[in-house]
Structures are given as C-alpha cells and as structure tokens.
Amino acid sequence: MSTDTSLATGAVNAMTCRNCGAGLEAARMDVSLGVVTCGHCGSLHDIPGKRDALAEGGAASGGKPSRLEVDLPSRFKLRRSAGGMEVSWPMGRPFQGVVLLIITGAFAYVAIQTGFLILLLFCAGLVYFAATRVFNTRRIRVDGARLEFTQGPLPWPGSKKLAASDVEQLYATEHESRTETGTDNNRQVEIRKFYRLSARTRSSGKVTVLSGLSDPMQALWLEQEIERLLGIGDEAVAGAHTL
C-alpha cells in the first residue's frame, strides 16, 4: 500500500458521515474516484487524500469531515446570476441515441416480417426514448425562492420543484443496479453505479431531487454549490436513510 493510500485510509477511518453520523470505513473508498461511501446511508464524501491537516483536524474534532472543494464537472454548463445559478447538462450522448435507433429498426423489421404489429408500439416508445437521450437537457435552477430540476424540451418524468425555505439539508448518495446474464452454470452479474441528489425538507422529510448521475463528482458539486447558495451548513441528518 502506498504512503498516500495509507494516509487516506487513516483519515477516512477517523471520519464520521456528515449525514447520518455513522463511522466511515476505508474499505468503502474508491481512490480512483476520490470518494468514500457511507455503508449506513450511502452518502458520498470526498477522500481527504494528501491534506494531512484536514485528517488531523477531523480526528481532533471527533471525526466530522470538513468540506473539500469540488471542481465544476466537465459536462456541466454553469450560469450564475445575482443570488442564484442555473446548471445544465445533456441527458445523454448522441451515440446512445444512434444505438437505440439501430435496435429499434431491428425490432420494427421483425414486427413487420412476422406480422406481430403490436411490437411497433414498443418501437415507437423506444424512438421517443432515443430522442430524449439526444435532444433533452437536464437543468437545475436555484435562487433564494426555489430549487427546481427540469428535463426538456421533450417531456420526461422526474421534474422537481422545492421552495428554498423548505430545504434543510442536501446530500449525495451512491446506488447500484444489477443485471444478470447467462445461464445458471455461467451466470454473470453486471453492476452499474449511479448517484442521486436528495434533500431533507421541513414539510416532507427525505425527497429525491434528481437521480441517474453517472459521476459522483456531479452529485457532490451540486450538493456543495446549492448548499452554499441557500446558506446551508453541513450537519448530521437525524435518523438512518436506507438505499
């Protein structure tokens, strides 16, 4: 184990989750991504890394991790205004739409050749989904009155609007989806990680703001910047949040 990894391991073992208060475990570090996941609530935290002062400060203060500055993710476009900001990024990538259209064409050909025309309804849905991956933009707007997440121009579920005064805390969490392929004798499991930004609200408790982020730094940056704009400080979220 390298010296840098050893330092990070010691720092993480001395930290507690700023969301649920559970101790963080070095075994749940992802050094390549620079994050550690809370095994209790799934919240993401930056790995202190080489910042020895931060590690010493965390241990001396009972292990509450300090906030490390997260840089603007490359796919995000940021526009700031007086007391607010708007962040936008593509819902998908063009090649994803192309692949989906090729698959749709194959299904449509089978439907026409076999006379199973009801399959064309599925193809129509797949074409629409492909279009959203190519043309839609995900957008978050934050100011002193609201926190709003939308997807468009093509309608797609998942939009969320919260009153800024209703938001007590924001936190990013890691989740997994598992896909099994093959037979019983040769079964393979593909694990895909994705990240979610949630809010603790005064009126409704835990609320998912948006999901499906592919990069933990996207979730951590949004948490950091929205809390900064709304004047929210890091604190432990009461109770356990399950994945």
* CA–CA dist 158, 152 (Å, integer): 11
| H or E stretch at 8 | helix 3-13
Q: Which residues of the chain have pLDDT under 70?
A: 1-8, 10-11, 14, 31-33, 48-68, 234-243
pTM of the prediction? 0.71
Residue 15: count other Cβ atoms within 10 Å of its Cβ: 25
Beta bridge pairs of residue 79: 86
The number of C-alpha atoms within 13 Å of 162 and in the hemisphere containing its C-beta is 27
pLDDT score for 52: 42
Residue 45: φ, ψ to 5°? -140, 150
User: Which two structure tokens, joined as six digits, stand for 3?
Assistant: 């010296």
Closest to 237 measured CA to CA, from 175, 159, 172, 161 = 172
pLDDT score for 60: 42
Residue with tokens 């989750």: 17
Give per-residue pLDDT as tens, 204-220. Answer: 999 999 999 989 899 99
DSSP-derived pairing of the beta strands 160-163 and 146-152: antiparallel
Residue 144: count other Cβ atoms within 10 Å of its Cβ: 12
* CA–CA dist 51, 72 (Å, integer): 20
pLDDT score for 26: 74
The hierarchical CATH code for the domain 77-90+138-230 is 2.30.29
Q: What is the dihedral of CA 176, 215, 12, 3, to 10 degrees?
A: 120
